Structure 1
Amino acid sequence: MAIPKKYARPITVDGTAFRWRVRRKPTYCQGNGWGPMTFAVERADAPGRALLVSLPCSRPDAWLGERATAVRPSLVKAAVRMALDRGWDPRQAGNAFDLALTDDDLTAMLHGPPTYAVPFMRR
């Protein structure tokens, strides 16, 4: 599985170039809040096995007022490092490597509790 280059953002983690992308529109399940917020990461120079990261919250553009968070480069870097520690080899061919993050994982990655927004509470 390769990530489309269009709308993909570059990021460098420990000297290795990657690109990451969040799906532009939510799937039906994500829109209803049934599915988690996800993003994909792969090596920029030699795409191989992609990393698919699932967050323990909904997308900010979900149709229902679920708790949501934005994906920031610091979160992407931390997720890539965690996936590499758990055995993800981005040069290897094969199916995507799934990494499901929990609230505790996010707290450790972000050095504090994650900030969630509830869409109907925004001003």
Structure 2
Amino acid sequence: MALNKKGSRRVAIDGIEYRWRIRRKPSCMQGLCWTPLTYAVEAATGSQPGTNLTFTSGQAHPSNWVGVETGPIRPAHVVASIREARDHGWDPTRVGSPFQLDRSAGFIAQS
């Protein structure tokens, strides 16, 4: 499934353009800081969509409802996650289920 172009950002790595997007409004679980922030990445080039990367971070969504402070996701973080996913076998041109990369081991849910 292709990402919505509106609200997405582009980043180039090794000559390949990617589009990434963080959900503008947090899900209910993210808003309450019960689950961490996730973002999606896809290859921006090509005529057909391939496999998306779903990255789960170890921090709260910046628009959470309980006031937990969090830092921004910068393009450098996205580049690092794309490179890590590629090292673990993610092929953005292959069609299939989203590739999951979970780095939320240090996330502490709020209660």
Q: TM-score range by the shorter chain?
A: 0.7 to 0.9
How many aligned residue pairs are there? 104
Runs of 5+ unmatched residues, structure 1: 105-123
Deviation, 1:48, is 0.5
Question: What's the counterpart of residue 6 of structure 1?
Answer: 6
Question: What's the counterpart of residue 21 of structure 2?
Answer: 21
Partner SS state of residue 84, structure 1: helix
**C-alpha separation in 1, matches of 2:104 and 2:15:** 27
Higher helix share: 1
**C-alpha separation in 2, matches of 1:19 and 1:12:** 9
Deviation, 1:102, is 4.6
Question: What's the counterpart of residue 79 of structure 1?
Answer: 81
Contact 1:11 1:17 (8 Å CA) reproduced: yes
Structure-to-structure mapping, 1:1-123, within 5 angstroms: 1-46=1-46, 47-102=49-104
**C-alpha separation in 2, matches of 1:69 and 1:38:** 14
> TM-score, with normalisation over the residues of structure 2?
0.87
Higher RCO (CA-CA < 8 Å; seq separation 6+): 2
Deviation >6 Å, runs of 4+: none
Superposed CA RMSD: 1.5
> TM-score, with normalisation over the residues of structure 1?
0.79
